[in-house]
Copies of this chain bind each other. A is one copy, B any other.
Amino acid sequence: MRQSKNRIEELEGILRDGGVRVTRQRAAILKILAEAEDHPDASELHRRAKEIDATVSLSTVYRTLSALEQQGVVQRHAFENATARFETADAPHHDHLIDLDTGAVIEFRSDKIEQLQAEIAAELGYDLVRHRLELYCRKRKD
């Protein structure tokens, strides 16, 4: 996309700073991730990455995703009855609405809900570390 090149170089920088080597395979996976507008799973990422570098193996996709997740560059989501799906962690925090019929994922954010969650945790004597909020929905029939 438009300036994905910069974004990719930025991500590669983050990796190098984190002591993670930027290999041919990782560069390919990173590019695919940066350009993805959806929430692909590991095998879909593998399929796409192979178009850039045919040598990328599924193992490497998984290993790279784990490394990227640890660097905070990628987020992993385990939606109901499905394989893990991934997205770059550049956008601000948001939750997900999953279309039960198509599997499509829509991002949304509600500051009210975020705040209520923290309040609930506090009331119960806890500090909220992270949360998971997923809405499983069907397109409204008119």
Which chain A residues have a beta carbon within 8 Å of chain B's beta carbons?
78, 80, 97, 99-100, 106, 108, 110, 112-113, 116-117, 120-122, 124-141
Contacts and interface: CB of A to CB of B under 8 A. Distances in A.
A110 B116 contact: yes
Contacts of A133: 117, 131-134
A80 B134 CA distance: 13
A121 B97 contact: yes
A69 B141 CA distance: 28
B78 A97 contact: no
A135 B120 CA distance: 9
Contacts of A135: 117, 120-121, 126, 128, 131
Contacts of A116: 110, 112-113, 116
A140 B112 contact: no
A75 to B, nearest CB: 13
26 contacts: A78-B78, A80-B132, A97-B126, A99-B126, A108-B120, A108-B124, A110-B116, A110-B120, A112-B112, A112-B116, A113-B117, A116-B116, A117-B133, A121-B137, A126-B137, A126-B139, A127-B141, A128-B135, A129-B137, A130-B136, A131-B133, A131-B134, A131-B136, A132-B132, A132-B133, A132-B136
